[in-house]
Chain A
């Protein structure tokens, strides 16, 4: 192992996810950081360094938002770093925390993810328009949904996926989300396939009940070195592998039917974790699901299904939370069933894998034995994959 330290997860915490939170970014960060410290039975004086994660400052209208909320993350007087890869940030922040500890420089790292999208008016989608090329794309009158709809159409057309399959993914995640204490009001529930398929067409083929909501919320995780863990005689969940990769920003030159950025990120993480047959060795997975199609797209990029096969496996219940023969995907409920405070949603996914491996996921606990799991996110200019593999 080329790294000085193995890195363990000692605790995680979340706030509720909300369409509009009363609390400020600082207050949300403080709540999540405190919850993670309580979960790890540690205090802020045990924390050697802090990583802050939040997506575009334009949501908050606060430049250097991660530095603004840093007091709430417990960072005063400590080495602090913001990591920011757009939607991929929630998972990338854990990667960033991992290399702070893996380097041997720090025994502990508190990773705090905060997102407050509701401050941007009239709608946070406006802040997203700046992801498009200012010369060749923005003058066309873009909106955020375009790029997802274009990708979804390419994916469903390449493989002949019926709309009903995407509705089944949305239904599964909304059902799973009912058991998540952070789940945003009105997002989770027992929605019928018909209801989902009849929901408003926003940007065909994207429909309203197959999209994650606008959310506020925060999450945090406490990482520690093997030495720190040994001194306390703990038997923790370990970070076994991390991976990240960036595809070209010339997105109209990529074939959107397949997430190449994720294949490379996943292979990097599998290699580090010594995973040679992910379909057997990954027991539970949290793929990034801001849209229903994206869960399937990402499961293929993660090499957990052949190209075009993730939708076929939906029919067989392969990705269901109670599966014994398949791989439970998004047992948390995901962005579709819990909510999407961007950086905090990625953190929620890593936390879910942590709680699943600890056997502490309560009603969300998967039925099959889970000793190794993977969380993933996606972002930047729709081009980055970020992957964390945890094991017990």
Chain B
């Protein structure tokens, strides 16, 4: 068989200039309109409220809120206030940053099923006050445990998902 094509370069080949490169930095910025449904949800967060929507077709109470139900394919305009409490659906303990550099203290992302929403419907957020190393976090956090939102002070809220600083274990 003929050998496969492809020339593998070492990192050193680049850093030592053995292979030529040319580089470019993207210059781009975006500002997204938050839309009808998410905009109202974010406005609710600013007031310290977690809002959901109800579909009159399938009767689900949905979070994140949306302007239409993807199951019934019908518009939604019924809003309900949910609570800032819920249950851990799943979680991770992450030691990696977006650029693949490592962190000493982990971030703890979790899917949290919000109380008052239909079963299994959650949002992504992070957990806090659960330890700063893997064994400690794993000894405290488990799927099914109850959590509550820890809010920023009202004066610091800006209508963003980060108006909830994190969720912490209840009790």
Chain A interface (Cβ < 8 Å from any Cβ of B): 14-23, 28, 31-32, 35, 38, 61, 121-123, 125-126, 129, 132-137, 139-146, 149-151, 153-154, 157, 181-182, 185, 200-206, 216-217, 248, 250, 252-253, 255-256
A154 and B161 form a contact (CB under 8 A): no
Residues of B with C-beta under 8 A to A142:
98, 109, 124
Find the A residue at minimum CB distance from B118.
A253
Which of B2-10, B75-83, B146-154 is the contact stretch? B2-10
* Those 6 A-B pairs whose CB atoms lie nearest each other, nearest first: A149-B92, A16-B6, A31-B5, A203-B94, A123-B100, A22-B7
Using A20-B9, A250-B70, A253-B62 as known contacts, say yes or no to A203 and B38 having CB atoms under 8 A apart: no
Cβ-neighbour of B6 out of A18, A125, A136, A149 (below 8 A)? A18
B99 and A28 form a contact (CB under 8 A): no
The reply to whether the CB of B85 lies closer than 8 angstroms to some CB of chain A is: no
Docked complex Cα distance between A252 and B91 (Å): 12
Docked complex Cα distance between A204 and B34 (Å): 32
Taking CB atoms and an 8 Å cut-off, the chain B residues in 121-143 that contact chain A are 121-126, 134, 138, 143
Using A122-B100, A136-B123, A146-B109 as known contacts, say yes or no to A201 and B7 having CB atoms under 8 A apart: no
Residues of B with C-beta under 8 A to A35:
4-5
Chain B interface (Cβ < 8 Å from any Cβ of A): 1-11, 13-14, 19, 23-24, 26, 30, 32, 34-35, 38, 42, 62, 64, 66, 70, 89-101, 106-107, 109-111, 120-126, 134, 138, 143, 160-162
Most buried by A among B7, B26, B62: B7
Cβ-neighbour of B126 out of A21, A28, A140, A205 (below 8 A)? A140
Residues of A with C-beta under 8 A to B160:
139
Known: A28-B6, A216-B6. 10 other contacts (CB 8 A): A21-B7, A121-B23, A145-B96, A146-B124, A153-B91, A200-B95, A204-B94, A205-B92, A217-B6, A252-B64
Cβ-neighbour of B98 out of A16, A20, A129, A134 (below 8 A)? A129
